[in-house]
Amino acid sequence: MSKLVIAGREFNSRLFLGTGKFSSNDLMKDSIVASETEMVTVAMKRISLGDANDDMLKHIVDKNIQLLPNTSGVRDAKEAVFAAKMSREAFGTNWLKLEIHPDPRYLLPDSIETLKATEELVKLGFVVLPYCQADPVLCKRLEEAGAATVMPLAAPIGSNKGLRTEDFLKIIIEQSNVPVVVDAGIGAPSHAAAAMELGADACLVNTAIAVAGDPVRMAVAFRDAVKCGREAYEAGLGAVTAGEAVASSPLTSFLG
Residue closer to another protein, measured from CB, 20 or 146: 20
Sites for another protein among residues 119-148 (CB under 8 A): none
Q: Is 57 in the site for another protein (CB under 8 A)?
A: yes
Is 63 near another protein (CB under 8 A)? no
> CA–CA separation, 180 vs 129, rounded Å?
10
Closest separation in Å from C-beta 104 to another protein = 14
- State the minimum distance, in angstroms, from the CB of residue 181 to another protein: 13
Q: Is 23 helix (H, G, I), strand (E, B) or coil?
A: coil
Sign of CA dihedral 91, 93, 94, 96: negative
Among 2, 10, 12, 85, binds another protein (CB under 8 A): 85
The per-residue DSSP string of 206-243 comes to -HHHHTSSSHHHHHHHHHHHHHHHHHHHHH-PPPPPSS
Q: How far apart are CA 85 and CA 40, in angstroms?
A: 19
Residue among 117 and 157 whose Cβ is closer to another protein:
157
β 15-17/202-205 pair status:
parallel
Stretch that binds another protein, among 3-11, 56-64, 112-120, 231-239 (CB under 8 A): 56-64
Query: According to the binding rule CB under 8 A, does residue 149 interact with another protein?
Result: no
- What's the CA gap between 193 and 209, in Å, rounded? 15
Does residue 44 bind another protein (CB under 8 A)?
yes
| Rounded-to-integer distance, Cα 203 and Cα 124, Å | 27
**Cβ–Cβ < 8 Å for 201, 149:** yes
Residue 95 is a binding residue for another protein (CB under 8 A): no
Strands 4-6 and 9-11: antiparallel
Are 128 and 98 in contact by the 8 Å Cβ rule? The answer is yes
Query: How near is the Cβ of 18 to another protein at its closest, in Å?
Result: 3
**Among 138, 153, 204, 221, interactor with another protein by CB under 8 A:** 204
Q: Return the residues of window 208-227 that contact another protein according to CB under 8 A.
A: none
Q: Which candidate in 3, 78, 97, 227 is catalytic? A: 97
The one among 3, 5, 75, 90 contacting another protein by CB under 8 A? 90
The yes-or-no answer on residue 116 being catalytic is no
**CB within 8 Å of 104: residues ≥ 6 apart:** none
- Cβ of residue 203: shortest distance to another protein, in angstroms? 12
Per-residue binding string, another protein, 150-179, x by CB under 8 A, is -------xx---------------------
Instruction: Look at residues 172, 167, 206 and name the one whose alpha carbon lies nearest to residue 186.
Output: 206
Instruction: Report, as residue numbers or ranges, the catalytic residues.
Output: 97
Query: Footprint of another protein on this chain (CB under 8 A)?
Result: 18-22, 25, 28, 41-49, 52, 55-58, 70, 72, 82, 85-87, 89-92, 157-158, 204, 206-207
